[in-house]
Structure 1
Amino acid sequence: MIKSLYVRVVLFYMAAVLVGIISTYFLTLLMISSLGDRYVARLQNELLEDGRSIQELYRKFGIERADDELKEGRLSGKYEIKLYDGDGKMIGKEEDKRAGLFTLSGEVVHSVLNGETFKNFELSPTEFVVGLPYEEAGKRYALFIELSEQRVESFGSLLLILAFAINLIVGALMILIAARYLVKPLLGMKSAAERMAKGEFDIELKWAKRKDELGRLAHSFNEMASQMSELETMRQNFVSNVSHEIQSPLTSISGFSKALQQSGVAEEDRIRYLSIIQNESERLSRLSDNLLKLASLDTSNHPFEPRDYELDEQLRKAVVACEPQWTAKSLEWDLRLPKTMIRGDEDQLNQVWVNLIGNSIKFTPDGGRISLSIMKYTEHVEVVLSDTGIGIPIGERVKVFERFYKADHSRNKMKSGSGLGLAIVKKIVIKHRGDVVLKGNSNGGTTVIVSLPFQTKFQEP
């Protein structure tokens, strides 16, 4: 569960919040401890200095005019002032009497009236109050000055801003780490996709070992790159093989055509040259026809018309159609074809049987033997074609279904063929949701087993 990218993102977010809160708490305490004392000392010094300035204003202008002077000067709004007369009673309006952040005992008031200076921050560092004696017209007064609520709130706001700033910085660092964790693989995949678009397929993303969604995506990307590389190799080989297969008969046709143009060619040679030109032309025709069939089978637009028909009868007709070839080599046949109904595309499957039977005849020596049988099972049927030919090596029995692959190159120089017949067979059988395999015989020949379901549907390429 924790390997999921979604869960990791949620957990990382929760961890970022938790780390942000804890770091904000401790860093704020650290900042307060290092800067708070200096800030408090500065406020205390300002309070004493400004308190004496206010004291001088009261002495100079008196009680009636001092308030007006304070409102117009630089000290306006910075402090709250309480004035007590000689009897210890507060002078001012009722709202002024209720205002203030602190309360004063009668003992404190009388001590100031007696000429002492009161500093409340010496008793409590967080309370900024100072009391100064003041005389006017022979009367004694006690002048108490405290920081205004705005200045106290500004200090709290400063601490709050500091905490938010620390939280923002820590959160930004955590997000940067998370972004690198998430974005770096995506940027790597983007770069790899751009390389693939340019035709570079030798790509392997290192994030494929991760167990989350990005790891699975990188793994799929690596597989896609590998398959694209294989497809590119196959494409290049295909083009090379097509060029070679076409070039060979064209060279023969061109050469013998030039030979025919020469004077004095014997009739026997002329007929031989024409025969070769005809054979090479037919070879080109078969090659182009097979290429067109493969191209059509590779698309989903190839016609597929399944119907119920007799498979045994189709196989007999395929053998009869090849009679001139196997008769010329005096081949014996062993047919075991019980009545079998199957559903499939009759024309396509006929191409399968013609190609397989043609191969068996082509590579079975004179006087050899070919057996063809049908094996019926519950859900599928097997067509087994076995010969006493030259056989196919074990390591090449799978490769022969590749396009243009020829198991015995020296043999194929003697036999006409393009290496596309078995590729067509494989394609048609797979489209019928079947399978085809090759096996060796104890006598050195080859056995081909084609498995088909009784009821088949077209399979998309």
Structure 2
Amino acid sequence: MIKTLYLRLVLTFLAVMLIAILLSSLISLAVYEKELDELQRSEMTAIGEHIIRVYELSKFSDLNLFAKNMEALTANSILLFNDAGQLITDDKGPHTIPQDAIQTVLGGQRYLPPDGSDLAFIGMPLQMQDKQYALFLLPSSKNEETITQLFLTVLALVLVTGSICYLIAARYLVKPLKTLTEATNQLAKGNFEVDVNINRSDELGALAHSFRQMAGELKQLEQMRQDFVSNVSHEIQSPLTSITGFAKALKYEHLVNTDNREHYIDIILTESERLSRLSEQLLSLVSLESNHHPFAATTFHLDEQIRQVVVRSEPLWSSKNILIDLKLPEAVKIKADQDQLNQVWMNLLGNSIKFTPQGGQIQIELTANRNEYAITITDTGIGIPPEELNHIFVRFYKTDRSRSGKGNGLGLAIVKQIITIHHGTIEVKSTVGKGTAITVTLPAYYTAST
């Protein structure tokens, strides 16, 4: 069984060459057979005429000796028959000259085989001392053998030379594939630093370029996976540590008074809710990224939805004396998933309230036109450093590390995914110490991707 591509390429080339040579030979013979036959017929006729002319000039008395001399000069076999149809030259072995051909020539006429038949001989009348003889000229086997040998030699040289060249070319083609195979094996083992040193402009070069891109993307995915596992472990470990610690403390009733007991139970409940929210958000994010998240597009009033989110968040912003400024036109209709957009406004407004100090201000403005809506939420909070703006939508990323207990860094990642599903965009502008403005742009009517 042939297992290597190199051997397959070589054997395929040899098979193709042999088939091509055979077919080309057969086609060439079929195409040029008639021309070759005519050429040989004319050549033998000319030779026969020269032989008769030489005889007429020399007047050899010994026809047998004359025929031998002519054979030495022309390399064609010569047969002479007397007027009785008997062979008078040396017998060259079995010949197929029929009596009717001999009688035709003895009658003073030339004999040429019919067109389309094999040229086995030609016959010409020869007169000597008032006697009629028949001279027959046979094709030169030496010429045919030489031509055949030349033809076969050329074919053999073409096959050998082509094979050697193809062996080199095949190695040139297969070597990059071997390199890619070895690199793929390294990649499968987790070595994402592997590189393929193939600098070519053909399809193999394009394949190597694609491999390098794939290796880079797999490296990023692996890093994201490790970061994700690390972040999830950290987010889970922190509340579990609190729950475990305070649960153990509650076991010792003589060490915990009633007030502390209530406080410990509140902490355990708070941390449990935190774990529950983390689980829900993780499941929601995974579902959104899988493109199989339930999506129910309905038509509703966008302005009214935002007002309801502000009302539901009143305990949060009123406790910090934050002024909410709404600039919402009336009866702005949108076709989208109402529950998902509600989650977007809750997350964005919650973040603004969280990072806006006491007595601050939050403005929510809705700009509507026929094709799309722009919703801008501007606060007077602590702001986001410029170097962190490109990372705020990465899951588990937190701009304020000192407030890590306030969230898990999944909210904005979920917001980004929901807006992407709705074919919208989100932009963030922020100045440290002055505040942040987040603008969400959504199409007025959602259309599913094809």
Normalising by structure 1, we get a TM-score of 0.67
Equivalent in 347, 366, 375 of residue 374 of structure 1: 366
Q: Deviation per CA, 1:255-290, whole angstroms, max 9, x where unpaired?
A: 111122123213232222222211111110110000
Contact 1:372 1:385 in 2 (8 A): yes
Q: Which residue of 1 aligns with 2:309?
A: 318
When residues 349 and 326 of structure 1 are mapped into structure 2, their CA distance, relative to the original with a 3 A threshold, is same
Contact 2:77 2:140 in 1 (8 A): no
What letter corresponds to residue 210 of structure 2 in structure 1?
A: S
Deviation at 1:216, TM superposition (A): 3.1
What letter corresponds to residue 360 of structure 1 in structure 2?
A: S
Equivalent in 321, 327, 332 of residue 323 of structure 2: 332
When residues 377 and 201 of structure 1 are mapped into structure 2, their CA distance, relative to the original with a 3 A threshold, is farther
Q: Which residue of 1 aligns with 2:414?
A: 424
Q: Which residue of 1 aligns with 2:250?
A: 260
Equivalent in 137, 143, 146 of residue 155 of structure 1: 146
Aligned equivalents of 1:346, 1:446: Cα separation in 2: 25
Q: Which residue of 2 aligns with 1:354?
A: 346
Matched, 1:300 2:291: yes
When residues 261 and 111 of structure 1 are mapped into structure 2, their CA distance, relative to the original with a 3 A threshold, is farther
Contact 2:379 2:435 in 1 (8 A): yes
Give the paired residue count.
353
Q: Deviation per CA, 1:60-80, whole angstroms, max 9, x where unpaired?
A: xxxxxxxxxxxxxxxxxxxxx
Greater relative contact order (CA < 8 Å, ≥ 6 in sequence): 1
Deviation at 1:117, TM superposition (A): 12
Deviation at 1:118, TM superposition (A): 7.6
Matched, 1:243 2:233: yes
Q: Deviation per CA, 1:299-318, whole angstroms, max 9, x where unpaired?
A: 23211111111111100111
Equivalent in 407, 427, 446 of residue 437 of structure 1: 427
Contact 1:208 1:216 in 2 (8 A): no
| Aligned 1:364-403 pairs, distance under 5 A | 364-403=356-395
What letter corresponds to residue 448 of structure 1 in structure 2?
A: I
Contact 2:393 2:416 in 1 (8 A): yes
What letter corresponds to residue 371 of structure 1 in structure 2?
A: Q
Aligned equivalents of 1:209, 1:379: Cα separation in 2: 48
Q: CA RMSD in A?
A: 3.6
Aligned equivalents of 2:291, 2:89: Cα separation in 1: 103
What letter corresponds to residue 424 of structure 1 in structure 2?
A: I
Q: Which residue of 1 aligns with 2:210?
A: 220
| Aligned 1:25-424 pairs, distance under 5 A | 103=51, 105-106=54-55, 110=60, 127=75, 149-207=140-198, 209-210=200-201, 212-262=202-252, 263-339=254-330, 340-412=332-404, 415-424=405-414
When residues 159 and 311 of structure 1 are mapped into structure 2, their CA distance, relative to the original with a 3 A threshold, is same
When residues 231 and 109 of structure 1 are mapped into structure 2, their CA distance, relative to the original with a 3 A threshold, is farther
Aligned equivalents of 2:256, 2:434: Cα separation in 1: 45
Contact 1:368 1:389 in 2 (8 A): yes
Aligned equivalents of 1:313, 1:110: Cα separation in 2: 130
**Relative to structure 2, which stretch is displaced further, 403-412 or 178-187?**
178-187
Contact 1:326 1:361 in 2 (8 A): yes
Q: Deviation per CA, 1:197-224, whole angstroms, max 9, x where unpaired?
A: 33333344444651x4443333333222
Q: Which residue of 1 aligns with 2:446?
A: 456
What letter corresponds to residue 420 of structure 1 in structure 2?
A: L
Q: Any stretches of 5+ residues in structure 1 without a counterpart? A: 1-12, 22-98, 131-140
* Secondary structure of the corresponding residue to residue 326 of structure 1: helix
* Secondary structure of the corresponding residue to residue 401 of structure 1: coil
Contact 2:76 2:139 in 1 (8 A): no
Q: Which residue of 1 aligns with 2:130?
A: none
Contact 1:441 1:447 in 2 (8 A): no
What letter corresponds to residue 268 of structure 1 in structure 2?
A: D
Deviation at 1:424, TM superposition (A): 0.2
Deviation at 1:111, TM superposition (A): 8.9
Identity %: 45
Q: Deviation per CA, 1:158-196, whole angstroms, max 9, x where unpaired?
A: 221111011112222343344344444444444444433
Deviation at 1:374, TM superposition (A): 0.6
Contact 1:436 1:448 in 2 (8 A): yes
Q: Deviation per CA, 1:307-342, whole angstroms, max 9, x where unpaired?
A: 111111100111111111111111111111112211
Aligned equivalents of 1:278, 1:109: Cα separation in 2: 137
Contact 2:383 2:433 in 1 (8 A): no
Aligned equivalents of 2:199, 2:64: Cα separation in 1: 85
Aligned equivalents of 1:143, 1:458: Cα separation in 2: 100
When residues 116 and 100 of structure 1 are mapped into structure 2, their CA distance, relative to the original with a 3 A threshold, is closer
* Secondary structure of the corresponding residue to residue 405 of structure 1: coil
